Structure formats: C-alpha cells, structure tokens
Amino acid sequence: MKKIKLIYNPHSGDKNFKRWLHECVWLFQGAGYETHVFASMEQGDIEAHIAEMPIGYYDAIAASGGDGTLNIVVNAMLANGHSMPLLVIPSGTANDFASFLKIPELPLDAAALINGPVIPCDVGMVNGRYFLNVCAAGILANVSQNVGKELKDSLGKLAYYLTALGKLANPVPLRMRITNSAGSFEEDIYLFLALNTSGTGGLSRLSSAASVNDGHFDFIIFKAMPVMDIAVVLLRLLAGEHLSDTNIIYFQDNYVKVEPLFDNDEYMNTDIDGESGPQLPITIENRHNAIKVFGELSKSN
C-alpha cells in the first residue's frame, strides 16, 4: 500500500477541517494510501516534522490550510529534498493558490483529487525563501498580516479589503529601484506584486495571463498617484481592466530585484503568501516546475 502524509492546520479559516478528517482518511485508504496524520500545534512544528520524514517514504503529501500553511509545507519539502506530489485541501480564508487551480472548496472533493493527475508548478524564490502565490512589497504588502484574527474569522475576504481601504486613506509613496531582465528603472510606488497566479487576497483578476507553470511571474506595480485616481484604478481593477491604466506598470519575467530608495522601516517588510517575508532589498527568481500538485489545469488558466 502507498503512503500519504496528511498535514493540517486546525486554526485555518473556519477551523472546520477536523470535521472532515475521518472522511478524508477513508477516501485516501480507499484509493490505496495508508494515511499518517499530523496536526500543527505550534509555530515551527510543520517544518520540524517534515525535516524528520525519510526521503522517499511517502508517495504523496496532503496539506489542509490557507496559503500560509501551503507556503510552510512547500518550503519544508524543498529544503529537505522531498519531491512527492502535493495534494491541496483549501481551508484558509482566501485560498488564492487553490482557487486559481480550481481545487474544490469542499474538503472531501479536494481530497478526491488523489485519484487524478498531477501538474508541474513553478515556485518563486525570494532571498532564499520560496513562495507559491505572491510576493508583495509596499504600503499594502502586509495587509493579510495586519488583519485581526477575530475580524478575519467573521468577515473572511472582506477583512482584507477593509484593512486595505484604511491604508489607502493616507497613502505613502515609496521610491524603489526595479531591475528585471530588460534593465532597471526608479519609481514612486504604493504596491509591488510578483504573482504566480492571477490574484491575491481574494482579488482573482489581477492578471488574466498568469500561469503556474510558464516559467515566469506576472509583475504588477501600482504607481504613487493622486488620491482621486485611486478610486478609478480600483474600479478598473474590479472590472479586470486595470493593466492598461497609466498608473500601473505590468510585465512578465523570471527575475526581478527590488531595492528601496527610502529609509522608512515600517515599509521594509515584504509579504509572501500572506505571511511575513524577508526585508527589502529582495531578489525574486522563478524555479520552473519545482513541485508537482494534484489537479488539472483548465483552459481558462
């Protein structure tokens, strides 16, 4: 019998995955997988547990949680030489990576993907750390980290938007130098995004050309702009028409360096997959098809 390691974060999202745990184990066993379960109890225990797993012992690894939990699992897998395919069971607030791959929201339906094909997926590397979905810098980069747990639990994705709008009331322009394969430029910006999928924070239409295995990322930069222009850009963003706006810089590449030309410590931190990332300056590189994920890309992806 094959073996699968099921790792879940009992504190993710509405904390209801535990109600599906028994059914998921049954499904895995029915598919020919002996199931070993690990529940995260404290910060750092997922990394430590995966580091202790013997190479080649498991045929698959399943992770239930939000984008932050997936980030932890993927970082630990790659850091310790594990190459088995990943099964994603979304149970966080936004679940941007799972949403892009159209992985079912119902845990049992997501677990049923164990019977299907796997697809190769790119990952990003930023200053030695990996990300699956997004790396962000700027005044809105730490929105997901600043959303209070009670607000996040009660309002879900709406909590991200409310926090972001509060910051936009008094935007701070940040001067940055951006270097990509074509050269470098300097710009006053509000937000820098490196996307592996089409969205983040529940905004799923940031880049219609995004793909998880094309070997590059979609980079979107929101320039510093008059406050009155912000409302226009937000409306165009919701309609998926923002990339043609003169206040937006958009390009695709597999390498970018971002350097701060300001000295405000409050905005030196970055965000990777909804968690605190390395401080600026950062270098972002694409690791083409570094992992395999259970699922199947639709034509719309």
Contact, 134 vs 273, CB < 8 A? yes
Q: By C-alpha distance, which of 60, 289, 276, 260 is closest to 178?
A: 260
| Rounded CA separation 193/205 (Å) | 13
Other beta carbons within 10 Å of 59: 16
Query: Is 275 noted as a catalytic residue in this protein?
Result: yes
Concatenated DSSP letters of 90-105:
E-SSS-HHHHHTT--S
C-beta atoms surrounding 81 within 10 Å: 8
Alpha carbons 11 and 70: distance in angstroms, whole number: 14
Q: Are 126 and 277 in contact (CB under 8 A)?
A: yes
3-state secondary structure of 24: helix
List residues bridging with 11 in a β-sheet: none
SS3 content of the chain, % helix, strand, coil (to 5): 30, 35, 35
Task: Please pick, among 47, 187, 275, 296, the residue that the annotation labels catalytic.
Answer: 275
SS (H, E, C) 55-77: CCCCCEEEEEECHHHHHHHHHHH
Helix (H) or strand (E) holding 26: helix 21-30
Query: Active-site residue numbers?
Result: 275
